[in-house]
Structure 1
Amino acid sequence: ANMSISRQTTQAITVVGNGGSYATLTLHTKRNGIWTETLSCSARVGKNGITSNKREGDGKTPTGIYSFGQAFGVAGNPGTSRGWLQVNNNHYWVDDVNSPYY
């Protein structure tokens, strides 16, 4: 897909589907106006691949450009300088489109 990002962006992660749920993730870093590939590794996406027409429950990962918000995990902060939320049994995520908490 042809997408553009802000000129102020200095890091970008791209994910390119390889078929099914398999993909390649690449980290790009911009220094002095030049983008370089910093890291590339295998990745997984939705069990049914990637789509530009996402529907809840389709098992696909949506295409698009996204910024990172707060980082989170079950363990303590692994050393990120981002805001960190250590989740516990009081946290939950809702993917039921009919729920008032969705």
Structure 2
Amino acid sequence: MPRSQRRAALVHPDARDYDLLDVLHALADRTRMTIVRTLRTDPERACGTFPVDVAPSTLTHHFRVLREAGLIHQREEGNRRWTTLRLADLDGRFPGLLDSILAADKRAAP
């Protein structure tokens, strides 16, 4: 594959390196909260299947923010990228934080 067509390596921080402000920043966006809430109920999804209305390039940006903050893990399988929530890592570093934020999100659908 030509160099220009190669995908960049995915960055997944070690849970020990999580920064609370990075996690909170990642969750401070409606689209990213929708992605996280979706993964909380559906453990793994292909990237194009999330219930968000944004351009693919914008969705890629949101996934990068979530991934680099440590909220999600992504893996490539063929031509698809699969996304999972790193709940055990998050709870290990910040116990109960994600569920507390999701419960307090008053704009979320019931």
Higher relative contact order (CA 8 A, sep 6+): 2
Rg (Cα) greater in structure: 1
Specify the TM-score bucket, using the shorter chain as the normaliser: under 0.3
Q: Structure 2 length normalisation: TM-score?
A: 0.22
User: TM-score scaled by structure 1?
Assistant: 0.23
Tell me which protein shows more strand as a share of its residues.
Answer: 1
